[in-house]
Amino acid sequence: MPDIQKRINQWIKDHREEGTNLLQKMVQAPSTQGNEAGAQAIVAQKLQEMGLQIDSWEPDGSELKKHSYFYSPRSEFSNSPNVVGIMKGTGGGRSIILNGHIDVVPDGDRDQWDDDPYSGAIKNGRMFGRGVTDMKGGNVSLILAMQALKENGIQLKGDVIFQSVIEEESGGAGTLAAVLRGYKADAALIPEPTNMRIFPKQQGSMWFRIHVKGRSAHGGTRYEGVSAIEKSMTVINHIRALEEKRNARISDPLYQNTPIPIPINLGVIEGGNWPSSVPDLVKVEGRMGVAPEETMEQAKDEMAAWLLQLEEADQWFKENPPELEWFGARWVPGSIDVEHELMNALVHQYRQVAGQDPVIEASPWGTDGGLLTHVGETPAIVFGPGVTEVAHYPNEYILLDNVFSTAEIIALTLIQWCGMETEQDGVTQTQSGKRETVLGNGN
């Protein structure tokens, strides 16, 4: 569709300053957990200016708690609304969810930043600021893609459901709330920071805690006790062996550039309470990666069975087995067939805009894609303009060129996926619509 592409490309060029200003404004509105309302107000205002149907609500923590996939360190979400904008199609086309999170991680030690973390400073084609790459830049790409279609008079057959959600960094409560509110579609696109790589598969993860027992004694006669710290070293080495075993099974070519596809990270170790006492208890906490085609229950079972084998390495564990518990955050794994029609559309339009083949890989981290795929029955792809290597880092930045290239690719992908209302500029689109969209009915 060369004529359509030219029009979209020109519109993106003509509105580059507008898009840059929008992104800067969003970055300058800090949206750490519990403080998302200001940034969401900017998003809602923009969607209203575009003429979209708006649905904004603060998720109901008491309702979310009833769901097995819910996790959040908080139970109520005042000052933290979800915002959804719907670009209704004319009917007969496939629908799509465009899902981006508005929440950002804390800015950390400000002395490590060259500029204020929320300055939105622009230098040499880059914008800097907390959340600019993860993932407000991707959100702006989505908004510009929709705006380019509307202002070029292109009517889609399928519905486009834009979601600006909270809580992705803490486990996905915002996306879960949107799913439970009734938002589903034939597919979804999430512009997480992928360096414009396409991720049809996303690793899942979950937090675990292991209690390792010892036997206390006076430090002067430590040989009378059993050090839980020393026993925890055996446990840690055992977990490392499990990581090697699990990763040795993975032959998916999408992971060929990832040294450890599904890591088991040990992030916390605490034990002992007195320098002159043999420690009798150690707590180890970590994060277990879950393969895209694996269930979280399968991963849990493998960890539990593996820890039972510790007694083969040390008889101490036969009478004093470590206690395993699962707690805190979790991200559901997700996977879409690499030949899925949305994948084909996205790859095709990437080639048209970028003039080269995209890199297709599996995500090394979790996203809300698993929730959309498994809970929302909406298969998801991750593709965005952000810089993977600087997400959560000081001096986080994004390449502005990539924001606008991604917007153009997504706009053209929406045309191919959702279908157009009429033949236009010699373009004929196929229609295979399945789902109609209505505004959420509230929690």
For residue 322, what are the contacts with CB-CB under 8 A and spacing of at least 6? 210, 211, 212, 213, 235, 307, 310
74-106 tens-digit pLDDT:
989 999 999 999 999 999 999 999 999 999 999
Does residue 369 surpass a pLDDT of 60? yes
Work out the average pLDDT over 393-418.
98
What pLDDT score was predicted for residue 421?
A: 85
Q: What percent of the chain has pLDDT over 70?
A: 95
What pLDDT shows up at residue 395?
98
Question: What's the one-letter identity of residue 218?
Answer: H
- Listed in sequence order, the residues at least 6 apart from 215 whose beta carbon sits closer than 8 Å to its beta carbon are 225, 226, 278, 280
* pLDDT tens digits for range 280-337: 999 999 999 999 999 999 999 999 999 999 999 999 999 999 999 999 989 999 999 9
Say if residue 204's pLDDT is above 60: yes
- Report the percentage of the chain scoring pLDDT > 90: 91
Q: What is the dihedral of CA 353, 358, 362, 366, to 10 degrees?
A: -30
Mean pLDDT of the chain: 94
The catalytic residue among 168, 169, 186, 408 is: 168
pLDDT reported for residue 1: 67
pLDDT for 424 beyond 90? no
Over 90: is that where the pLDDT of 212 sits?
A: yes
pLDDT of 367 strictly over 60: yes
pLDDT of residue 143 exceeding 90, the answer is yes
Query: At 360, which helix (H) or strand (E)?
Result: strand 360-363
pLDDT bucket at 435, cuts 50 / 70 / 90: low
Please answer whether residues 170 and 195 qualify as being in contact, where contact means their C-beta atoms are separated by less than 8 angstroms. Answer: no
Q: Is 312 a catalytic residue?
A: no
Q: Exposed, middle or buried, 246 (CB in 10 Å: 0-12/13-18/19+)?
A: buried
What whole-number distance in Å separates Cα of residue 268 and Cα of residue 283? Answer: 8
What pLDDT was estimated at residue 437? Answer: 53
Per the model's pLDDT, the better-predicted residue between 11 and 423 turns out to be 11
CA distances from 50 to 54, 161, 420 (A): 10, 13, 19
- ∠ Cα 268 273 275 (to 5°): 110
Find out whether 300 and 313 touch, Cβ atoms under 8 Å.
Answer: no
Q: What is the pLDDT of residue 284?
A: 98
DSSP 373-435: IIIS---EEEE-SS-GGGTTSTT-EEEHHHHHHHHHHHHHHHHHHH-BSS-BTTB--------
Q: Summarize the confidence of residues 392-420 as an average pLDDT.
A: 98
Question: Is residue 443 over pLDDT 60?
Answer: no
Cβ neighbors of 359 (< 8 A, separation 6 or more) are 196, 197, 198
Give the residue among 270, 199, 172 at the shortest CA–CA distance from 229: 270
**Which DSSP category does 223 fall into?**
G
3-state class (DSSP) for residue 39: helix
What does the angle CA 302 – CA 308 – CA 312 come to, to the nearest 5 degrees?
125
Active-site pick, 103, 167, 186, 396: 103
Rg (CA), the chain: 24
Query: Looking at the predicted structure, is the pLDDT value of residue 430 above 50?
Result: no
Q: Is 168 among the catalytic positions?
A: yes
| Residue 70 main-chain phi, psi, to 5 deg | -75, 135
Q: Is 370 left (phi over 0), alpha (psi -120 to 50) or beta?
A: alpha
The conformation of residue 357, written as its DSSP 8-state character, comes to: P
CA–CA distances in Å: residue 82 to residues 68, 103, 177, 325:
20, 10, 8, 31
